[in-house]
Amino acid sequence: GQNIDQPTEMTATEGAIVQINCTYQTSGFNGLFWYQQHAGEAPTFLSYNVLDGLEEKGRFSSVLSRTKGYSYLLLKELQMKDSASYLCAVYDSNYQLIWGAGTKLIIKP
Amino acid sequence: DVKVTQSSRYLVKRTGEKVFLECVQDMDHENMFWYRQDPGLGLRLIYFSYDVKMKEKGDIPEGYSVSREKKERFSLILESASTNQTSMYLCASGEGAQSGANVLTFGAGSRLTVL
């Protein structure tokens, strides 16, 4: 079967750095997405990786390793507003999007 | 700046009632999707549509139907609501998947409670 694994919950301190991991086992691979979802709100797009390597967007970076079947999202200089769930999703060989259950990130002052 | 609008944020219905969830997008996207989101699970695809009057079953279509009469509007219908359909329903739209990073734009969600 197809599977995306993420930690259920993580806690970090304001101003620090946190890494959220995502491992996947899918039938084929055509790209990996990270979305951010604040409580009660719509998921919003953060990043997309299709080749191995790093994608940077301000304080957020995403890294992909296709050979190892994993990605991680790196959040720097954490702010209280970064408290949210972070969803990992993979396009399989049929361009069907497979979603992880999300990681709830709690930021403490 | 709202791009995907879901008509109802919160609904409470009784078992057996017919439920309509409406979704409208203003980005002229070809593709529209209905997901449900439950605690501890990833988003699960109910139905999707690549064009007007076209629909495709997702992973969990049982108990649901959809309608897409106009490009901008995609409706989810629960013919006879049941308690196990209590959930958050998310509508999304996007361009073709084969065009690379098909970023989805989501609505704010409709939280349905079936009593």
What's the average model confidence in pLDDT over B17-28?
Answer: 96
A103 closest CA partner among A77, A76, A71, A66 = A71
**If pLDDT is split at 50, 70 and 90, which confidence band does B105 have?**
very high
The structure tokens 């109802």 sit at B8
Average the pLDDT over each of A16-25, B48-57, B84-93, B106-115 and give the range with the smallest value. B48-57
Instruction: Calculate the average pLDDT of chain B.
Output: 92
Q: What is the structure's pLDDT at A63?
A: 97
Helices (H) and strands (E) in chain B, counts: 0, 12
Element containing residue B115 per DSSP (H, E): none
Q: Shortest CA distance to A35 belongs to which of B26, B42, B74? A: B42
Q: Is A7 on the interface with B (CB under 8 A)?
A: no
Closest-approach residue (CA) in chain A for B35: A99
**What integer pLDDT is reported at residue A21 of this predicted model?**
98
Give, as one character, the DSSP assignment of residue B83.
Answer: G
Q: Which of A2, A5, A97 to mutate to test the interface with B (most CBs of B within 10 A)?
A: A97
pLDDT, tens only, B77-101? 999 999 999 999 999 999 865 555 6
Chain B residues closer than 8 Å to A48 by CB: 101, 103
Kindly state the average pLDDT of the residues B62-90: 97
Residue of A nearest to B41 (CA): A101
Instruction: Say whether pLDDT at B108 is over 90.
Output: yes
Helix (H) or strand (E) holding B71: none
Q: What is the pLDDT of residue B1?
A: 66
pLDDT of residue B95: 81
Contacts of B42 in chain A (CB under 8 A): 4, 87, 89, 98-102
Q: By a Cβ cutoff of 8 Å, what residues of chain B touch chain A? A: 4, 40-45, 90, 97-98, 100-109
Contact B43 A91 (CB under 8 A): no
Q: Give the nearest chain B residue to A48 (CA atoms).
A: B101
Q: Are A67 and A6 in contact (CB under 8 A)?
A: no
Place A95 in a pLDDT band, splitting at 50, 70 and 90: confident
List, for residues A3-54, the tens digit of each pLDDT value: 999 999 999 999 999 999 999 999 999 999 999 999 989 999 999 999 999 9
The tens digit of pLDDT for each residue in A79-89 reads 999 999 999 99
The answer on pLDDT for B109 being more than 60 is: yes
